[in-house]
């Protein structure tokens, strides 16, 4: 293969030298056919008759610059009868770059319509640098593309490398970037704008935006099925990876490093998930099968408000590469946004101390079926796993997350989150190491469906939600254990006043819990409080415990089982100080009362049914025991055929 050396002492890049490669750059164009598995620089592609097909590019000829050579190759696709109807099966010229420094920018990928234009560009990793002028993308095209393959090139400067502006359907071949370095760009390294464009593959690349820019590393959406982002180092971007809108599903984000290289560059999130926004879809194409696995979310230069994953719609703007998040909360419904079926697992989440931010911040209500399992937290804790930025409807569709918590810093019982799993209902969780101590407050169920976990009876997770007991009780918002004014200081005028609320949907025989954070008041604090589960109509106390108030926040959990009472809607919880002096104040936060959906026996063997012959009754082998009109009947030879089909016992 003929080669020509590049300039040994390249001139500095200037905006007026975007194509200044004549006389000091060399490249060889070789027809490679459909590139499927990587660069083939070990030899020259052969034609069907065995002769070389390489074209010598003269440094002073009409095709002697990088700009024209790429344009020529992009439009070189040829339809060959008999080798298949798909566009990506047909041959296409590709460019192998000799080592050196090249200058180029604003190269349109244009040419063929059948097959569509494509791009194949490769170099030995680390041997080629392409400098892009300010305010230019290297490749910017509005045409439908067949495929893109770029390998081994270092790109420096400009707005980015690829901005694909085509907005229609682009379901063709794969768009592959591997072993590349994207450095000092100001807008977006790799981005598309298609309605439907699957099969992006980015592997082994490094992304380092310009300092103090608001750049995005990768912005790819529009039914991005089958896309793979694997083994990359995302070092400096406002958003390292933006997926969506309308992500569709089966997108794999694997084994990447998401770091923050400095403190001066604006940061929004490591990953920005833009949901499905097609009206009336109710979750179709909203992310199912997307895996975020084996990644490192680093603590380098971490700030207290840093969020790792952002869920938000796009705001206004001309392209996906320039739109910012929409921070108006989306409540869902027929015209709402949906994100479903995302799995986050086996990742390392590092913090430089405890932070005020959640791991996930969601500006949409409808985040469904998220799975969070086997993730390691070290160095500090986020506030929540997910914080919803508005009121979220509690129903079966929303309360169906699957969460498995691991110990923070490998310390048994150490919670990975400061304030809890979420500030809204999310669904069942597994906490085998008791990291939350009282994790059940996050297992708040819906009101129907086949959810058989827990039923919420009362809650107070912000100052305005707490209700008082007695006359003249004042509530003052104070900081909770995470530093947020979501707790209250309770100051009764006289002994006997405190907090209370009615448990109107409580049912007898169900195992329940009251969970609350307690702390001494700032002044005139009581020494202890009494917590009661009390039926004010029947005068029955289901549980009564006294707790000494600690100097710092402490989470307590009180189990109880409600006995039968004359008025099942008269149950209430009461928290009052027990100090006999004038010091009656205390602080409380994160109060939840709930019980199981199924009844539980309390002191006796019982059934879940009515004990009748044709209902749930006691069965021991073939012997049946049931009750009828106050009498017990026993039949040792099988199930009874009627109410008195057995021996009466009394």
Q: Which residues contact 43 (CB under 8 A, 6 or more apart)?
A: none
Residue 243 has pLDDT above 80, yes or no: yes
Residue 42 has pLDDT above 70, yes or no: no
pLDDT bracket for residue 512 (50, 70, 90): confident
User: Of 136-150, 557-571, 596-610, which range is least confident?
Assistant: 596-610
* DSSP codes, 328-348: SPB--STTS-EEE--EEES-E
Q: What is the mean pLDDT of the segment spanning 363-377?
A: 92
Q: What is the mean pLDDT of the segment spanning 503-516?
A: 84
Q: What is the mean pLDDT of the segment spanning 184-203?
A: 97
Q: What is the mean pLDDT of the segment spanning 414-435?
A: 72
Q: What is the mean pLDDT of the segment spanning 368-379?
A: 90
Do 190 and 202 form a contact (C-beta atoms < 8 A)? yes
Do 28 and 96 form a contact (C-beta atoms < 8 A)? yes
The helix or strand, by DSSP H or E, that contains position 73, with its residue range, turns out to be helix 66-74
Dig out the tokens for 609 from the structure: 């049914």
pLDDT bracket for residue 409 (50, 70, 90): low
Report pLDDT for 647.
92
pLDDT bracket for residue 509 (50, 70, 90): confident
pLDDT bracket for residue 205 (50, 70, 90): very high
User: CB count, 10 Å around CB of 23?
Assistant: 10
Report pLDDT for 361.
97
Torsion (CA) 617, 618, 624, 627 in degrees, nearest 10: -50
Report pLDDT for 33.
28
Highest mean pLDDT pick, 301-305, 356-360, 578-582: 356-360
Q: What is the mean pLDDT of the segment spanning 189-207?
A: 97
Q: Which residues contact 323 (CB under 8 A, 6 or more apart)?
A: 314, 315, 316, 317
% the chain with pLDDT above 90: 42
- Integer Cα distance of 376 and 409 in angstroms: 8
642: burial class by Cβ within 10 Å (0-12, 13-18, 19+)? exposed
Higher pLDDT, 227 or 37: 227
pLDDT in tens, 279-325: 766 667 899 999 999 999 999 898 888 999 999 999 999 999 999 99
Q: What is the mean pLDDT of the segment spanning 585-595?
A: 91
Three-state SS for 15?
Answer: helix
Q: Is the peptide bond before 115 cis (omega within 30 degrees of 0)?
A: yes
* CA-wise closest residue to 139 among 85, 175, 100: 175
The helix or strand, by DSSP H or E, that contains position 72, with its residue range, turns out to be helix 66-74
Dihedral sign of CA atoms 394, 395, 397, 402 in order: positive
User: CB count, 10 Å around CB of 371?
Assistant: 14
- Integer Cα distance of 595 and 435 in angstroms: 21
Report pLDDT for 453.
58
Residue 383 has pLDDT above 60, yes or no: yes
Query: Over the Cα atoms of the chain, what is R_g?
Result: 33
Q: What is the mean pLDDT of the segment spanning 379-384?
A: 87
* CA-wise closest residue to 529 among 543, 548, 515: 548
pTM, entire model: 0.64
pLDDT in tens, 119-131: 889 899 999 999 9
- Integer Cα distance of 97 and 27 in angstroms: 5
Three-state SS for 16?
Answer: helix
Residue 345 has pLDDT above 60, yes or no: yes
* CA-wise closest residue to 325 among 371, 275, 370, 251: 275
Residue 250 has pLDDT above 60, yes or no: yes
Q: What is the mean pLDDT of the segment spanning 89-117?
A: 80
Q: How far is CA 32 from the centre of its chain?
A: 40
Kindly report the backbone phi and psi dihedral angles of residue 151, in degrees, each rounded to the nearest multiple of 5, phi listed first. Answer: -145, 135
pLDDT in tens, 434-482: 555 433 333 433 333 334 457 788 888 889 999 998 888 999 999 987 7
Report pLDDT for 164.
96
Three-state SS for 464?
Answer: helix
- Integer Cα distance of 540 and 560 in angstroms: 13
Report pLDDT for 88.
63
pLDDT bracket for residue 62 (50, 70, 90): very low
Length of the chain: 650
Report pLDDT for 461.
83
pLDDT bracket for residue 563 (50, 70, 90): confident
pLDDT bracket for residue 40 (50, 70, 90): very low
Higher pLDDT, 170 or 594: 170
Distances (CA, A) of 124 to 100, 180, 445: 11, 10, 56
Residue 41 has pLDDT above 50, yes or no: no
């Amino acid at each position: 293969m003929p080669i020509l050396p590049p300039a040994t002492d390249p001139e500095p890049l200037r905006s007026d030298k975007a194509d200044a490669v004549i006389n000091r750059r060399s490249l060889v164009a070789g027809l490679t056919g459909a590139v499927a598995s990587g660069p083939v620089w070990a030899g020259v592609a052969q034609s069907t008759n065995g002769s070389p097909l390489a074209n010598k590019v003269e440094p002073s000829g009409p095709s002697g610059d990088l700009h024209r050579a790429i344009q020529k190759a992009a439009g070189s696709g040829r339809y060959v009868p008999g080798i298949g109807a798909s566009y990506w099966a047909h041959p296409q010229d590709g460019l192998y770059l000799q080592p050196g420094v090249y200058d180029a920018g604003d190269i349109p990928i244009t040419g063929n319509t059948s097959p569509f234009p494509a791009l194949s560009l490769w170099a030995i990793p680390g041997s080629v640098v392409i400098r892009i002028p300010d305010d230019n993308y290297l490749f910017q095209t509005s045409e439908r593309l067949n495929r893109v393959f770029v390998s081994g090139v270092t790109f420096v400067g400009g707005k980015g490398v690829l901005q694909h502006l085509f907005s229609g359907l682009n379901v063709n071949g794969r768009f592959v970037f591997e072993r590349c370095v994207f450095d000092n760009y100001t807008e977006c390294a790799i981005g598309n704008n298609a309605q439907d464009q699957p099969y992006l593959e980015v592997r082994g690349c490094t992304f380092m935006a310009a300092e103090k820019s608001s750049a995005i590393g990768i912005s790819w959406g529009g039914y991005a099925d089958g896309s793979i982002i694997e083994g990359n180092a995302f070092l400096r971007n406002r958003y390292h990876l933006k997926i969506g809108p309308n992500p569709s599903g089966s997108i794999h984000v694997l084994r990447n490093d998401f770091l923050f290289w400095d403190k001066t560059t604006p940061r929004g999130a490591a990953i920005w998930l833009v949901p499905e926004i097609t009206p009336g879809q109710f979750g179709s194409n909203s992310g199912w099968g997307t895996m975020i696995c084996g990644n490192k979310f680093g603590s380098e230069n971490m700030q207290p408000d840093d969020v790792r994953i952002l869920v938000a719609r796009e705001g206004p703007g001309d392209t996906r590469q320039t739109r910012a998040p929409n921070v108006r909360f989306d409540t869902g419904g027929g015209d709402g946004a949906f994100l479903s079926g995302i799995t986050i697992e086996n990742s390392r989440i590092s913090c430089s101390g405890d932070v005020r931010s959640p791991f996930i911040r969601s500006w949409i209500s409808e985040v469904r079926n998220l799975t969070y399992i086997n993730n390691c937290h070290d160095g500090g804790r986020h506030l929540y796993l997910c914080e919803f930025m508005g009121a979220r409807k509690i129903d079966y569709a929303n309360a169906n997350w699957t969460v498995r918590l691991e110990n923070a810093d490998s310390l048994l019982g150490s919670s990975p989150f400061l304030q809890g799993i979420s500030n809204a209902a999310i669904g069942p969780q597994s906490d085998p190491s008791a990291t939350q101590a009282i994790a059940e407050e996050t297992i708040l169920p819906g009101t129907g469906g086949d959810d058989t976990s827990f039923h919420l009876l009362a809650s107070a997770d912000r100052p305005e939600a707490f209700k008082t007991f007695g006359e003249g009780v004042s509530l003052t918002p104070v900081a909770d254990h995470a530093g947020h004014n979501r707790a209250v200081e309770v100051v009764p005028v006289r002994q006997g006043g405190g907090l209370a609320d009615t448990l109107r949907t409580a049912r007898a025989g169900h195992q329940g819990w009251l969970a609350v954070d307690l702390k001494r008041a700032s002044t005139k604090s009581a020494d202890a409080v009494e917590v009661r589960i009390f039926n004010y109509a029947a005068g029955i106390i289901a549980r009564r415990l006294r707790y000494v108030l600690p100097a710092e926040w402490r989470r307590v959990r009180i189990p109880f089982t409600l006995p039968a009472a004359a008025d099942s809607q008269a149950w209430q919880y009461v928290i009052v100080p027990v100090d006999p002096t004038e010091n009656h104040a205390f602080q409380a936060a994160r109060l939840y009362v709930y019980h199981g959906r199924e009844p539980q026996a309390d002191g006796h063997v019982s059934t879940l049914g009515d004990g009748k012959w044709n209902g749930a009754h006691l069965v021991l082998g073939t012997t049946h025991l049931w009750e009828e009109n106050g009498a017990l009947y026993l039949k040792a030879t099988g199930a009874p055929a009627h109410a008195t089909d057995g021996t009466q016992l009394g």
